[in-house]
Amino acid sequence: MYMIMRECIFYINLRQAYLLTPHYANRISSRTVLFTSVPDEYLNEAKIREMFNNSVRYVWIAGQTKELDKLVEERDKVAMKLEGAEVKLLKLVNKARTKAATKGDAPPATNNGHNDDAAADTETGSIAARWVPDKKRPSHRLGPLGLVGKKVDTIDWARAELQRTVPETEKMQADWAAGDFKKANAVFVEFMNQADAQAAYQVLTHHQALHMTPKVVGVKPEEVVWKSLSIPWWQLVIRRYAVYAFIAVLIIFWAIPVAIVGLIAQVNTLKQLPGLTWLDSIPKPILGVVSGLLPSVALSILMSYVPIIMRGCAKLAGTPTLSRVELFTQNAYFVFQVVQVFLIRSVFDAASTALVKIVNDPSSVFTTLGQTIPTSSNFYISYFMLQGLTIATGVVTQVVGMFVFRILYKFLAGTPRAMYNKWTTLSGILWGSLLPVYTNIICISIIYSVIAPFMLFWSSIAMGLFYLAYRYNILFVSETTVDTQGLIYPRALKQLFTGVYLAEIVMIGMFAVTKAPGPAVLMAIFLVFSILYHMTISRYLDPLLYGLPRSVQAREQAIQSGLGSPASPAQAEEGLGRNKESNESATAEKKTDVSPEHAVPKKEGNIITRFLKPWVFYDYERLRSMMPSQDDVDFDRMYSDEVERTAYMAPSVTSKAPTLWIPRDGAGVSRQEVALTSKVIPISDEGATLDEKNNIVWDTEGARPPIWDEKIYY
């Protein structure tokens, strides 16, 4: 338990040191606060500015964009259909042209009698028609799933649809930007600096309960769950409890297949029961696989569906951001892991093992239970090794990823866009579904550390393999899909108390069934102490975890000003994360100065004192000195006036018609298609070509493709 507290204190200091660096503090998200359940009277920019005085820079009032979302989705869907049809047509032409060249046939004559492909243009007729008859052009049916309905030429149909949807979308977006929309109960407020944003986040905002709360600071625009912002506060309360009830019911009914898996693992014992003696006729190798490996695999497959359901529940409950969705998923999935993987699995394992002995000798029920509970650790040894060997090996080798990439890239990526996206997108990690699995493994190890100590050996091997595998992957292979700003790790740390509680409860039960009242009472006292310890560190450490204290803000201001000592009250009031104007007026200043002459001398201590006292030897100054001293991102250039003005508008409000990207061909069809399609939507054939094998080739090391967009670090 001390290790949990020590790691939490160390991590809090580390998190504060990072969040206050210029690299993070200068971002728009670091000084923006999302207020939900905002009453109608405060859905007004003037009211918001009046509430927070002169510290407000921008105000975005969320709106309901259901109709606009549908229109933008329809426009983009048609655009992608047109792009795919254009590429398909180019491939048909290129194939026919290459085939004719191989046979030595002359190219078909154009309407004006010329044979030069490049000389043809839109005035002399369609070049594609010389190689591909109309009946072979890309087409589809307008009915459901494209199976029934009128058959139309896909390119002509898509152009006509875009001529309608693009202007409609632009008009609706202009109306929305002008304020013609139904307001949602949420407001994004960007403050002048990070200190003002933290002050607004930590203060009580509204005098009525459940109004202008919950608040979220540091939220990025791409992580907002926009549909949740229009849910009123009373619905949020009802939805949250309804979701909790659904999860509770799901846990109960999910126990049925998990229990069946547990019974399969004890097939060697069950075959002794009347009516199940036929199991003895199964060959021993098959029986060994069924009772050893199959339950572990089946349990892993069963649990893999839970995170998907939990994320849906989180959004249904009205969770406003994807980071909160991940935190919700982490909690719910961890409960599932503990109940299903440990409690249900262990109970049915012990019960099925003891059933035969109890049936034969009912008087030995307590002795039998005391002996069979430790034996259920055999399953978890198999479970840990399966997880450690298969998952760690798969994570490092990326066999599945490589196979999928090759298949998708070679056979399913039929357009330059698909190839580019597949080539430039890293595999993502969702910590809300990943971390609970390993948190539960540690909890099980804690539980069995007393009653089956050998379990620690196997769990240590498994966790060591996990560490090596994921360390490499996180650094070189994968990226975090949703950024929780470091909140998911300390939550996992505190979830380890579950293992401590269950270990103490199991010990109380074992002492009770073996009729040892003294040790049972002692363990009950330890259980009460553990609960009080947990409550105490949560009460006093949580405020430091979820907010940035003014004291460290003042220290950071001193570091940025080059003083190396706590800032004056005026400097502390100026805050961190300067706005654009103040940055422009001080471009010659150093953003960070953590040179040795400015550092406060600290006693190093020995290895034991450094370990036992992280609040002394790993405080803010020490960890801050480990952060990058210079910021390599020019936020002033990145945050143009347009970017700042539209940062927290709904995506459908600022979404522009996508630029289509098709490969250039030797027949000149791509240039003709660009000339025709560009009248309704942007399109380009630069940066990609069709080779003689009819494959799309694009320069992975060359210039930026037409669809490239600079990543904005909000």
The answer to the question of residue 680 being in a domain is: yes
Q: What length does the chain have?
A: 714
Q: What pLDDT shows up at residue 361?
A: 59
- Confidence class for position 233, pLDDT limits 50, 70, 90: very high
Cis status, amide bond into 214, omega within 30 of 0: yes
As a whole number of angstroms, the distance between CA 51 and CA 205 comes to 9
Shared-domain flag, residues 167 and 262: no
Tokens at residue 548, please? 């940035």
Domain count, the chain: 2
Segment 520-545 shows an average pLDDT of 93
Single-letter amino acid code for the residue at 372: T
Instruction: Find the domain containing 120 and state its range.
Output: 68-175+656-698
pLDDT for 424? 82
Q: Work out the average pLDDT over 156-174.
A: 93
Does the pTM exceed 0.85?
Answer: no
Comparison of pLDDT for 143 and 175, the residue scoring more: 175
Is 488 part of a structural domain of the chain?
Answer: yes
- In order, the DSSP letters of 265-318 are HTHHHHTTSTT-GGGGGS-HHHHHHHHHHHHHHHHHHHHHTHHHHHHHHHHHTT
| Residue 476: per-residue pLDDT | 82
The mean pLDDT value of the chain amounts to 81
In a domain, 484, yes or no: yes
CA 21 to CA 627: how far, in whole Å?
Answer: 8
Do 241 and 169 lie in one domain? The reply is no
96-137: pLDDT as tens digits: 888 887 776 655 544 433 344 444 444 445 787 888 888 888
Side-chain-facing half-sphere of 432: CA atoms under 13 Å: 24
Of 522, 546, 570, the residue that ends a domain is 546
How would you class 573 by CB atoms within 10 Å of its CB: exposed for 0-12, middle for 13-18, buried for 19 or more? middle
Bridge partners, 190 (sequence order): 32, 58
Degrees, nearest 5: CA angle 129-132-133: 75
**pLDDT in the model for residue 693:** 83
Among 92-96, 213-217, 397-401, 425-429, the minimum mean pLDDT is found in: 397-401
Per-residue pLDDT tens over the stretch 631-687: 666 667 778 888 888 999 999 999 999 999 989 888 888 899 999 999 999 999 888
Q: Are residues 314 and 448 in the same domain?
A: yes
494 band by pLDDT with thresholds 50, 70 and 90: very high
Average pLDDT over residues 230-240: 93
Looking at the domain assignment, is residue 554 inside a domain? no
Q: Is the pLDDT of residue 358 over 70?
A: no
pLDDT given at position 610: 79
pLDDT on residue 366: 52
Residue 75 domain flag: yes
Rounded Cα gap, residues 246 and 244, in angstroms: 5
How confident is the model over 569-590, as a mean pLDDT? 45
Pair 128, 244 in one domain = no
Q: Would you state the pLDDT for residue 471?
A: 86
Q: Which percentage of the chain shows pLDDT scores above 70? A: 78
Higher pLDDT: 140 or 383? It is 140
Could you say which of 483, 512, 546 is where a domain stops? 546
Q: What percent of the chain has pLDDT over 90?
A: 34
Residue 594: is its pLDDT beyond 50? no
- The helix or strand, by DSSP H or E, that contains position 58, with its residue range, turns out to be strand 56-63
Q: Is the pLDDT of residue 347 over 50?
A: yes
